[in-house]
Chains A and B, each alone.
Chain A
């Protein structure tokens, strides 16, 4: 691994685009998955083959329409013929690591390029913002000291407000584009040796303010996260709280559809298991006095918690997808925090660690199941 600081007189965004373009031009990768400007100024991940079209990309756009780990899944699950570069933010890389563990993506011949995340806005907020470049520039300006503030009158997505892992880390990341603690007019790269060699990068200095900027941002986010967790635990301290939390749910399953970890093609909620015979619904209404329709709304959320909260990377796509305004992501993060701690598991941290539901140890949870004394 080498670290290098490059001059970027043309501006950070352009410098990143030129760097990514050179990955294609130097044949380090054959194709690049990266955020690209779409008609109407929206941004979406796209697979780019033509180096010239990288100029139309928006790798720093503070918007995340989908968790692009799902795009990498689509590109790699059936095997891929080419060397693929993927430009992702930290939560997308973590989701990709989890998907890889579950054999839903393959990372052979995939070059992961991580970009420091300066926070993202909701798709709607981004879409309605009149001056999108100003949003990017504003964040780049505040990245120097790590005190990231959203543009006036706007807010980051709720998941971003409590994200304490904005910097891509791990051996699986081949190249990191550092923005935090980096002065305007410069570009900081953290590159694996083979990538550094191919890009002709030589080691130079680390920006002096980088460590402090990351720490200051992380500390602020941890404080916000702990407040959000405390608020959740106050709201949902009884079953009444849970019923209130998910009361507005319209059972559209959007949170599941947009969750990068919820990959099951044969999800039990998409099978006839819960397509109850109407006679059964009448029976339940008879027994309980009334029955909520569509049925099994709360069961859906409880089951999703059971099935994937151990691997939740906290990207918050579920919250964005919820038409009823439920902050599903914060529920999953708060609950996941304690469940993951049971197994000292950090979703997305390393490909070498099996997910909790993939393994067991004989010498754990010794008292569970034993006759109490």
Chain B
């Protein structure tokens, strides 16, 4: 088992919902795989796709974007804007030969610690099934 592929996930989580949800998962001692590296944002709507692209090009196996449920954005509408941007990003990725399902957008509220842990667990297992990011072995790109 030592050689099993362990995906590396970069997560961009909004401060008000998903990051707090992740915090709740921790304080509630809910177990989830340690494959995730979290970057806290004030809002999912503030995430420029350049950073998601950069993570993927640098070899991240998956990127998770977490925001408040629709209608619950701390800034009224940031998550709706994020949703459009991620839809655009996923369409572009699919059209440049990159698997768009390596990018997950999930609405996870501050009270959904268990759902956050569950999401990470599912994402890790989905990425294990996909295998490593094909860009990882490319060397200079």
Contact = CB atoms under 8 A, between A and B. Distances in A.
Interface of A: 233, 236-243, 268, 284, 288-292, 296-299, 302-303, 305-307, 309-310, 334-335, 338-339, 342-343, 356-357, 360-362, 364-365, 368-371
Contact of A371 (B106, B134, B135): B106
B95 A236 contact: yes
A133 B80 CA distance: 53
A288 B133 CA distance: 13
Contacts of A306: 49-50, 53, 85, 88-89, 92
Nearest to B71: A362
Contacts of B97: 236-242
A177 to B, nearest CB: 36
Given A290-B139, A370-B107, A299 B50 contact: yes
B96 A360 contact: no
29 contacts: A236-B95, A236-B97, A239-B138, A284-B58, A290-B139, A292-B141, A298-B57, A298-B141, A302-B49, A302-B53, A302-B57, A305-B92, A306-B88, A306-B92, A307-B49, A309-B92, A310-B88, A335-B91, A335-B92, A335-B96, A339-B95, A342-B87, A356-B88, A357-B84, A362-B80, A364-B84, A365-B87, A369-B67, A369-B107
B140 to A, nearest CB: 4
A334 B95 contact: yes
Interface residues of B, number: 38
A221 B138 CA distance: 38
Nearest to B84: A360
Contacts, number: 115
B141 A365 contact: no
B98 interface: yes
Nearest to B118: A371
B59 interface: yes
A243 B135 CA distance: 10
Interface string B65-98: 0010011000001011101111111011001111
Contacts of A233: 95
A368 B95 contact: no
A307 B105 CA distance: 19
Contacts of B83: 360, 364-365, 368-369
B139 A302 contact: no
A343 B85 CA distance: 12
A335 B59 contact: no
Give me the 4 closest cross-chain CB pairs, A-B, nearest first. A360-B80, A306-B49, A292-B140, A290-B140
Nearest to B95: A335
Contact of B86 (A296, A303, A368): A368
Contacts of B54: 296, 299
B115 interface: yes
B88 A239 contact: no
Given A288-B59, A289-B140, 19 more contacts: A237-B97, A268-B48, A268-B50, A292-B141, A302-B96, A306-B88, A309-B88, A310-B88, A334-B95, A338-B95, A339-B95, A360-B77, A362-B71, A368-B83, A368-B86, A369-B79, A369-B86, A369-B106, A370-B107
A100 B43 CA distance: 28
Nearest to A301: B96
Contacts of A334: 95
Nearest to B107: A369
A368 B141 contact: no
Contacts of B88: 306, 309-310, 339, 342, 356-357
A360 B81 contact: yes
A238 B134 CA distance: 10
A78 B80 CA distance: 32
A246 B87 CA distance: 23
Given A288-B59, A289-B139, A292-B140, A338 B70 contact: no
A276 to B, nearest CB: 11
A80 to B, nearest CB: 32
Interface in B86-131: 86-89, 91-92, 95-98, 105-107, 115
A239 B135 contact: yes
B33 to A, nearest CB: 18
A235 B31 CA distance: 44
A365 B80 CA distance: 9
Contacts of A342: 87-88, 91
Contacts of B107: 369-370
Nearest to B52: A306
Contacts of B96: 236, 239, 242, 302, 305, 335
Nearest to B122: A372
Contact of B98 (A239, A362, A370): A239
Contacts of A299: 50, 53-54, 57
A10 to B, nearest CB: 49
